[in-house]
Amino acid sequence: MKTLTLILALVISVNMSAQNDHIKYAAFNIVSSSIIGGIGSGIHHKENESFGKAFVNGAWKGAISGSINSVSKEMLRIQSERYDLDWRLCWGSKIVNSVSNTMLYNATMNESSLLKHYSIDIGFIRLSTDYTVQIEPISLACFTGIFFSGGKFDVSKSLTIGTPVFLQQMLSTYGKTYANNITINNQQYYVRHNGKLLSYTPNVILHELTHTYQRLQYSSINNFLTIYNKYENIKPIHNDLSSFDILYLLNKTYFENEAMFYGNNN
């Protein structure tokens, strides 16, 4: 009963906050992360622990993760309002986002510590407290594919945001995200803001960067399929195999609107 009450309260909070986009998107991040954390924790409940108790324990941890995740995205929005990329805000946002993803990962694994297994993703490389360097195969394959298909690697922009950025000729879109890689149209677009003509490229990058955040956030769903053996260490499925790809297809409108809100400032 407590579990059902918690879920109902979280769902109602989203509906009540729909009038304010800031609150709406923050609420969705909190609710979704709470549910993911709860389910994952319940699946990995300890022998002397019920599913419901583990669910509630993971749900509140997931809610904390979701609130921090929203802060990381708000840091992107601050830049989108300026039509600018600030490496300090970009990297600050990236670090905050990595903390939130680490917390959600630990919530789904029913870990006692929220910051155990801390990791941060930089392109196709994951740096963590468990491994010195971990290569993410799907992100690496996408990086390689984009590069050899004519994408021009933009070193400056990549260093600014901590995620690979490629310039590529694209006819139907401003930019696209491939795993943890961003491609943007090499054609320049401009927008008039406060009487000034400014490049729209930073906002395109921030939009796509939001998509990478979404992908990393929902990759913790993979942990639902992790098999726990009491005689062995927990061995989670590689998070580079993101469940977000499926979620995006199911609810593309929401995820695009969220990326538009935090990145494009429209």
Domains of the chain, by residue range, sit at 2-264
Reference 183, options 200, 158, 160, 159; nearest CA is: 158
The pLDDT, as a whole number, for residue 231 is 38
Contact 36, 220 (CB under 8 A): yes
Name the token pair of 176: 């696209």
Contact 59, 6 (CB under 8 A): yes
Average pLDDT over residues 99-107: 94
Q: Is the pLDDT of residue 98 over 80?
A: yes
Is residue 242 very low, low, confident or very high in pLDDT (cuts 50, 70, 90)? low
Q: Which of 69-73, 121-125, 192-196 has the highest mean pLDDT?
A: 69-73
The pLDDT, as a whole number, for residue 56 is 94
The pLDDT, as a whole number, for residue 18 is 43
Segment 163-177, tens digit of pLDDT: 999 999 876 789 999
The pLDDT, as a whole number, for residue 232 is 45
The answer for residues whose C-beta is within 8 angstroms of residue 260's C-beta and 6 or more apart is 207, 266
Cα gap 175→164, rounded to integer Å: 13
Cα gap 62→36, rounded to integer Å: 7
Least confident of 99-103, 158-162, 198-202: 198-202
Cα gap 143→83, rounded to integer Å: 26
% of the chain surpassing 70 pLDDT:
84
Contact 236, 134 (CB under 8 A): no
Cα gap 88→38, rounded to integer Å: 33
The pLDDT, as a whole number, for residue 171 is 62
The pLDDT, as a whole number, for residue 265 is 63
Three-class SS of residue 197?
Answer: strand
Segment 207-224, tens digit of pLDDT: 999 999 999 999 888 888
Segment 108-162, tens digit of pLDDT: 999 988 888 889 999 999 898 876 688 888 899 999 999 999 999 999 999 999 9
Strand ranges (DSSP E) for the chain? Answer: 119-122, 125-128, 134-135, 152-153, 165-168, 175-178, 181-185, 190-193, 196-199
Is residue 15 very low, low, confident or very high in pLDDT (cuts 50, 70, 90)? very low
Is residue 9 very low, low, confident or very high in pLDDT (cuts 50, 70, 90)? very low
